Amino acid sequence: MKAVLLDRDGVINALVYHEDAGVIDSPFRASQFKLLPGVPEAIRLLNDMGLKVAVVSNQPGIAKGHLKPAMLKTFDRRMLSGIRTAGGHIDRIYYCLHHPEAKVLKLRQRCRCHKPEIGLLEQAAEDLRVSLLECYMVGDGIPDLLAGARAGCRTIFIGRWKCEVCQFTEAPHVHAALIAESLWDAALLIQAEMRGTRPITSSYKCLSAQA
Ligand SMILES: [Mg+2]
Ligand SMILES: [Zn+2]
């Protein structure tokens, strides 16, 4: 394997409960952008394994009028500087800014890059000069798993709630190849696979059954 493609919200940074709207969504303000524990170290570990690392993320918040493009840049700076504290780096960042019902007209479109479409993944693989078959796709949502599977990536689901994964039992094609509690755990699984110290078989199981 040559590269790791990462979803952003829920994988790299924490999701935010927006009290006013009563929804859990991406951060909208700088103070809401917080890296999840172990993320800088996880990315450093992936770097050290010689893997390229790219972010591939749907970010419809600008289209929906929740934030300005400059805020997305601010989040990028916070993300990259936080990762740098552990000596890690991200090679590329790709966002789909589109949304079919966008308030911002130029972003109102059905595109090829909004996961579960695979446009962002294809662009990342092309720029990183790797095959999608040589990529892990790491995400905390069904669109991440669908895009990863369609693109031929090895998928890793990040899930922190026990029963979250049960919804997937109904839809076999979205089963992740591997399940991890955090990006740090995912990096350890990748390390184990790359070293051949863990069998390359699906670790899919209902997490609640383990409890
Ligand atoms: Mg996510
Ligand atoms: Zn798009």
Q: Where are the domains of the chain?
A: 3-210
Query: What pLDDT is recorded for position 176?
Result: 83
Q: What is the predicted pLDDT for the residue at 206? A: 47
Q: What is the pLDDT of residue 209?
A: 42
- Here the tokens at position 7 are 């979803």
Residue 162 Cα to ligand 1 middle (Å): 17
To the question of pTM greater than 0.95 for the whole model, the response is no
Is residue 144 part of the annotated active site? The answer reads no
pLDDT tens sequence for the chain (211 residues): 999 999 999 999 999 999 988 999 999 999 999 999 999 999 999 999 999 999 999 999 999 999 999 999 999 999 999 999 999 999 999 999 999 999 999 999 989 999 999 999 999 999 999 999 999 999 999 899 999 999 999 999 998 654 555 555 556 557 788 889 999 999 999 999 999 887 555 444 444 444 3
Please pick, among 7, 20, 48, 127, the residue that the annotation labels catalytic: 7
Catalytic residue among 9, 20, 48, 140: 9
Tell me, what's the pLDDT at 158? 92
Would you state the structure tokens that stand for residue 180, as one six-digit string?
């991890």
Looking at all shown ligands, the one closest to residue 99's CA atom is 2
Ligand 2 centroid–CA 116 distance in Å is 10
Expressed in angstroms and rounded, the spacing between residue 203 Cα and the centre of ligand 2 is: 31
Q: What is the pLDDT of residue 211?
A: 36
> How far apart are the C-alpha atoms of 3 and 133, rounded to whole Å?
10
**Reported CATH class of domain 3-210:** alpha beta
CA distance 145 to 178: 11
Spell out the SS3 assignment of the chain. Answer: CCEEEECCECCCECCEEECCCCEEECCCCHHHCCECCCHHHHHHHHHHCCCEEEEEEECCCCCCCCCCHHHHHHHHHHHHHHHHCCCCCCCEEEEECCCCCCCCHHHCCCCCCCCCCCHHHHHHHHHHCCCHHHEEEEECCHHHHHHHHHHCCEEEEECCCHHHHHHHHHCHHHCCCEEECCHHHHHHHHHHHHHCCCCCCCCCCCHHHHC
Rounded to an integer, what distance in angstroms lies between the CA atom of residue 196 and that of residue 175?
22
What is the distance in A from the centroid of ligand 1 to the CA of 82? 19
Q: What is the predicted pLDDT for the residue at 166? A: 56
Please say if 48 is a catalytic residue: no
